[in-house]
Amino acid sequence: MTTPTFPDPSTDFPLMRPLVNVREDHARITPGEAFRAHVDVRNAGTIVETYDLIALGPAAPWVEIEPSSLSLFPGEEGTALVTMRPPLSPSVVAGEYVVGIQAMSQVRRENASSDELLASVAPFYRFITSIGRNSFSIRTKAKLLVQVTNEGNSTVTYQIDAVDPEGYLTVKPEEPTVTLAPGESRWSGVLVKAAPRIIGTSFDTRAFTATITPIRNADTNMPIVDPDVSDAQGSVVHKPFIRVRLGFFGKFILIIGLLALIAVFLFSRFLAGTPASTAGAPPVPASFTAATSSSGQVVLTWEQSPGASNYTVYAVDASETPGSASSPATAAGGSATPVVLKASASASPSTNAELDLTDRPSPICAGCTEVATVDAGTTRYLIDAPSPGEACYRIAAKVDAIQSLYSPQSCTYVPDPNGVDVNGDGTSDGVDTNGDGTPDAPLAETGAGAGASEPTPPAPCPPSDTEVKAISTTSLAILWATATAPPRGMTAPPLTPESSASTRAGVKPSVDTVTSNVCDPAEPITGWTIQRKIFTGWSDVAVEPKAADTAAEVVDLSPATKYCFRMRATSAQGESVYTKTFCGKTSAPAASPDPTITPGASAAPSGSPSAGATPDPTQSVVEPAGSAAP
C-alpha cells in the first residue's frame, strides 16, 4: 500500500483570490434597528478552501456576519447574511460609513478579497437635563444651574427658555442657546430676580420653569421637527430684608405713619407749585425765538430737545402775564385801529403776590393756550394770520405723557395791516411796526401789500425709500432717495398763496393752516442729517452726506446687532421733519470649522481592491461659507 502525497499548495498551485460581491450598494440605517445585506463568495481556485468572513472599517463593531466562514469547492459559490445594527449611542455619530466585507483563506492568509457598501446612519435626537439645585432662598436675585447632555448622535443646538407663570419673578437664561456635540454636556445659568422687599412679615415661595428645546441640527443646519422638550422646575423662597411681626395695633400705627408721610409729601409739592413728578422729562427746548416775517406770519424756531417725541406750542395771553400791558384789539371791517399806548412793564416793589416766571423755564404757564403739537425733529413752526399786537409764545417738549418745563417766553410784535388812527379822525395815519403806538410806515407799504406778500417758503420734504443693508459684521449701508412728492400726512405748498382772516382775538394767534405739515419736494437740498437711536434718545452719526449722495456707510458697529436710524433733509429754507424710524442688522461672524471627525473612509486594507476612491476618515471636510447642506 502506498502512502498518498499531497502537493504544497503554496508552491505547486497558483494563488487564485476568491470573488466577493455584496449585493446591496447602499444602506440607510436607523440607530437601534437592523439592516440586512447579502454577500456572495466564489472559490476561484483549484482546491477546496475555507474562507473567514470579516467586517472591516469603523462600522465593524456593530456588523455581524452569519455564517462567519464558508467552505467551498473549486468554482463553488456561497452566501452569507450581513446584519448592521448601529447602537443608540453618541459614540456612533450620524453620517456615512464604508463597510467592508473580506473573505480570507484559512490556509493561505494572503489569499483574500473584499467588497464594500455605503451605510448611512440616520440622526437621532435624545438629551437629558438635570438641575444643580431646585430650591433656594433669595432677597433680590439668584442663579440656577441647569445641565444639558446631548445623548444623540448629531451636533444639536438647544434653546433655553425660562418663565415665571405668575409673573412675580424675572427669569432670564445666561445663554439663550447652546450647541452640543454628541455626548457633550454643559452647565448653563438661569438668572432669577425678584423685586426687593424691605419689610415683610412672612416668606413667599415662588416657582419658575426652565424649558430646554432642541431646535436645529448643527451638522446639516436643518430645523428639528416636533422635538421633545424637557422642563426643569425650580422654586425660590423670597425673604424680606427686615422681617417684622406686627399685631393688629402695630399694623394700624404703621399704616397711619405711611399715610402721614404721603400727606406731608403732597402738601410740600403743592406749596412749591411744582408738578407731581418730572422724572424722565426731556430737557427744555433751547433758543426758543418768535419773530414776525415780512408777510405777517409769526415764525417760531428752537433747538431740538434730546429724547423728545413731540413738541407743544402755547400762546400766552398778555393779560395773564405779570407786569404786562394790554395789546391792541383787532379792527373790524378794515377801519383803522385806535392807538392804545403801552403801560409801564415794571412791577411795584411791594408786589410779591405773583412770581414772574416768563424769563426762565418754569412748571407754570399762566394764561397759556395750546396752539399746536408738532413731531420730534421739527425745529420751526409758522403761524398764519396772527392777531395784530404783541404775540407771546412758549414751548414744551414731551416724551409720551411726560412734559418738560415750559420754555422762557418769547414775544414779537405783529403790525396791524389796517394801520392806526392817531388823531381820531377815522382815517389810518400809517402802520405801527414796532408797537410804540406811533405810525412809522406808510399804509401802502404794509397794508394791502402785506396780504399780497409771499409767505415764508416751506421746508424741504424728508427723504424717501430709506432702508438699511448689511455690508459686513461692523458696518451698515444706509440708502435713500430724494423726495419727489410729499410723504403721507404732508402736502405740497399751494401754487397761489391764500390768506384767511384770524378767528382768535387779542394776542392769541390764529392758526388757519398747519404749515408744519407742508413741505416742498422741489426745494433744492443742501445736505442730509442721519441720526442713530441710542436707548430712548438720538445721536448724530459721524457721516455727513452731501446733497447729491443717496447712500452712506456707518462703521464701527457690533456684529449681529440691530440698529435703528432716521433722516432729514436740509435746505436754505431750513430742515425737514425726520423720516420714520428704519432699522437694520449687521452680519453675524462666520462660523469656525467643526473639528469633529467625519466618518466615511474606505474600509478596505492597503493593496486590496475597492469599489472607488473614498476620503480619509481622519480628515474633516470643511464646506465653504454659504454652501448648502446635503
Using alpha carbons, select from 416, 412, 407 the residue that is nearest to residue 382.
Answer: 412
Together in a domain, 329 and 432: yes
Beta bridge partners of 202: none
The grid cell for 361 is 423755564
pTM attached to this predicted model: 0.37
Together in a domain, 234 and 300: no
The reported pLDDT for the residue numbered 9 is 52
The reported pLDDT for the residue numbered 264 is 92
Together in a domain, 431 and 397: yes
Three-state secondary-structure class, residue 220: coil
For 42, phi then psi, to 5°, come to -120, 135
Query: Which range marks the domain in which residue 443 is found?
Result: 289-341+355-456
Number of compact structural domains in the chain? 4
The reported pLDDT for the residue numbered 429 is 57
The grid cell for 74 is 473549486
- d(CA 263, CA 31) in angstroms, rounded, equals 74
Together in a domain, 24 and 87: yes
- For 271-288, letters b (16+ CB in 10 Å) and e give eeeeeeeeeebbebbeeb
Q: Which of 121, 143, 160 is at the close of a domain?
A: 121
- d(CA 557, CA 565) in angstroms, rounded, equals 13
The grid cell for 434 is 414796532
For 463, phi then psi, to 5°, come to -65, 160
Together in a domain, 398 and 332: yes
- d(CA 192, CA 323) in angstroms, rounded, equals 60
> Where does 122-190 have alpha helices with state H?
none
Cβ contact 48:597 at 8 Å:
no
The grid cell for 240 is 424680606
Together in a domain, 53 and 154: no
Would residue 502 count as lying in a domain? no
Together in a domain, 33 and 81: yes
Together in a domain, 536 and 522: yes
Annotate 37-51 with DSSP letters as a single string: EEEEEE--SSS-EEE
The grid cell for 201 is 412679615
Would residue 629 count as lying in a domain? no
The reported pLDDT for the residue numbered 509 is 38
The reported pLDDT for the residue numbered 276 is 43
For 144, phi then psi, to 5°, come to -105, 135
176: domain CATH number is 2.60.40.10
Together in a domain, 448 and 377: yes
Would residue 115 count as lying in a domain? yes
Q: What is the number of residues in the chain?
A: 630
The reported pLDDT for the residue numbered 507 is 37
Q: Which of 87, 121, 155 is at the close of a domain?
A: 121
Together in a domain, 314 and 392: yes
Would residue 501 count as lying in a domain? no
Together in a domain, 101 and 148: no
Three-state secondary-structure class, residue 474: coil
Mean pLDDT of the chain: 77
Would residue 266 count as lying in a domain? no
The reported pLDDT for the residue numbered 440 is 65
Beta bridge partners of 528: 569
Calculate the alpha carbon distances from 257 to 198, 240, 252, 267 in Å: 16, 20, 9, 15
Three-state secondary-structure class, residue 319: helix
Would residue 237 count as lying in a domain? yes
Calculate the alpha carbon distances from 149 to 112, 223, 585, 614 in Å: 44, 19, 33, 33
Q: Which of 456, 475, 506 is at the close of a domain?
A: 456
The residue ranges of the chain whose pLDDT is under 50 are 1-2, 5-6, 274-277, 323-354, 445-454, 497-515, 597-630
The grid cell for 111 is 489569499
- d(CA 603, CA 97) in angstroms, rounded, equals 9
- Long-range CB contacts for residues 492-499, cutoff 8 Å, separation at least 24: 492/518, 492/519, 492/520, 492/521, 493/457, 493/458, 493/518, 493/520, 497/454, 497/455, 499/384, 499/385, 499/451
Would residue 591 count as lying in a domain? no
Together in a domain, 399 and 374: yes
Would residue 268 count as lying in a domain? no
Using alpha carbons, select from 569, 532, 564 the residue that is nearest to residue 547.
Answer: 569
Calculate the alpha carbon distances from 378 to 224, 393, 456, 462, 578 in Å: 50, 17, 16, 11, 7
**Element housing 270 (H / E):** helix 248-272
